[in-house]
Amino acid sequence: MVTWNDRLSGAGLIELERLVERCQQADRSRCLSEELLLRLRKGTGDTWASWVPGAEGWSGYAQLHLTDQGAWGELLVDPSARRRGLGRHLLDACVQSARERGANHLDVWCFGDHEGGARLSRSLGFAPLRRLLFLVRGLDSLPPLPASPVGLEPFEGSRDVSVWMALHRSVQPDPTRAWSEDDLQLRLAEPWFDPSLLRLARLDGQAVGYLWLKHHALQTEGELFRMAVAPAMQGRGLGRYLVTWALHELAWRRALTASVFVSTSNEAACRLYQGLGFRTHASDCCYRRELVAELQGDRAHAHDPG
C-alpha cells in the first residue's frame, strides 16, 4: 500500500536529501528533477510524493506530477535496498495512481539511463520516448566573443514576466512541456535566482531572445539553464552569440566548467553546443507508457456481459 502526499515537510526534505546523496554517490548521476521538488515544497496540489522508511533513513521514494495530458513520475531506491523488488513496487504505484487520476500516459525519467532503471521500465511496458544530453566544457580557453547583434538587459520581474513567457511559448514546440507563469514564478522565488544572470536580448527595443544562467559564487560549475531565440531571429548567429557570452560571463565569475542539458531531438542546438566545445558527459532517457488504451480496455471488460 502506497500513501501519496502533496507536500514535503522540512524533515521529509532532509530525509530525501540524504537518500539523493547516497544514490548520487552510487550512480554518479543526478537522481531527481528540480521541477517536481519545487512543486512539493510549495504544495501546488498537482504533485505527490511517497516514501518507504528503512532502518537508516528512507529506502525508496517516488514522486508523481499530473499535467493536462498525462503524468510524469520519478523514483529512487537506496543502493542497499536494490534488487529486492522495491523499484518495481514504486513504479507500479506510479502507474496505478496515474491511471486513477485519469492520465493519458505516464512518463518516467531514468537519470543517467542506467541499465537497471531502463530494464525495469521496459519490463513494465514503457518504451523510450526522449533522450536528454548533459553537455560540459571547461572554461580555461574561450572562443572569441563576436560583435553583439543585440543588447542584453537584466531581467526586471514586474516588467519582463509577460515578455519572457511570450518568448518561451514561441520556441517551445510541445505545449505540454511549456512552462506556465506559475512555473516561472517558482524559479524566480528560489534563493539561487540572480536577476543579473537572466538576460533578455533586445533588438530595436523588441525582445528577441533570452539567456538564463545558474551560478553560485562558491561553485566551480555554471549552468546554461535556459536559452531561447525568437523564431524570426533564428539562423542569424544570435544563439552562438548568447552561448559565447555565457561562457565569458561564467569564466569572469570564476567558474571552471559550464554545463547544459539539451534534447537530442534539438539537432540545431546540439550542433551549436558541440561546435563551441561542449562534450557529452551523461544522458537521461524518458520512457513512456500509454494508459488510454488500458483504461478503455478496462472499461470494455467491465461492461462485457460474457
In a domain, 18, yes or no: yes
Domain count, the chain: 2
Among 101-105, 239-243, 299-303, the minimum mean pLDDT is found in 299-303
Q: What is the pLDDT of residue 218?
A: 82
**18/124 same-domain check:** yes
Which pTM value belongs to this model?
Answer: 0.89
Q: Which domain holds residue 189?
A: 141-255
For residues 113 and 152, membership in a common domain is answered with: no
Q: What is the DSSP letter of 220?
A: S
Residue 218 placed within a domain? yes
pLDDT in tens, 106-116: 999 999 988 89
Residues 190 and 226 in one domain: yes
Residue range 204-221, pLDDT digits in tens: 999 999 999 999 888 899
* Statement to judge: residues 94 and 200 lie in one domain: no
- Domain shared by 64 and 121, yes or no: yes
Residue 266 is assigned to a structural domain of this protein: no
CA 21/CA 241 separation, integer angstroms? 36
Q: What pLDDT does residue 292 have?
A: 87
- What is the mean pLDDT of the segment spanning 76-105? 95
Q: What's the pLDDT score for residue 155? A: 95
The residue ranking higher by pLDDT, 115 or 304, is: 115
pLDDT at 301: 47
Question: Does 81 score more than 70 pLDDT?
Answer: yes
Domain match, 75 and 156 both: no
Residue 197 pLDDT: 96
112 lies in the same domain as 17: yes
Domain-located, residue 246: yes
On whether the CB atoms of residues 287 and 121 are closer than 8 A, the answer is: yes
Above 80 in pLDDT, residue 36? yes
Q: What is the mean pLDDT of the segment spanning 209-238?
A: 93
Whether residues 41 and 119 fall in one domain: yes
- What is the Cα–Cα distance from 58 to 223, expressed in whole angstroms? 30
- Mean pLDDT, to the nearest integer, of 192-206? 94
Predicted local distance difference test score (pLDDT) of residue 148: 85
Averaged pLDDT of the chain? 91
Residue with cell 544514490: 23
Does one domain contain both 52 and 147?
no
Average pLDDT over residues 276-303: 80
Q: State the pLDDT at residue 290.
A: 96
Q: Is residue 263 part of a domain?
A: no
Contacts 24+ apart (CB under 8 A), 243-247: 243/272, 243/273, 243/276, 244/142, 244/143, 244/144, 244/145, 244/146, 244/276, 245/145, 245/148, 245/152, 245/211, 246/211, 246/213, 246/222, 247/137, 247/139, 247/142, 247/143, 247/276
Q: What value does the CA radius of gyration of the chain take, rounded to a whole number of Å?
A: 21
Select the more confidently predicted residue: 301 or 51: 51
Same domain, 162 and 245: yes
Model confidence at 295: pLDDT above 70 = no
Domain match, 33 and 80 both: yes
**Quick one: 83 and 22 in the same domain?**
yes
Task: Tell me whether residue 181 is in a domain.
Answer: yes
pLDDT of amino acid 298: 56
Please state, in angstroms and rounded to a whole number, the distance separating the CA atoms of residues 281 and 135. 6
CATH no. for residue 113? 3.40.630.30
Which amino acid appears at position 75 of this protein? L
Contact indicator for 144, 276 with CB cutoff of 8 Å: no
- Note whether 63 and 36 are within 8 A (CB): yes
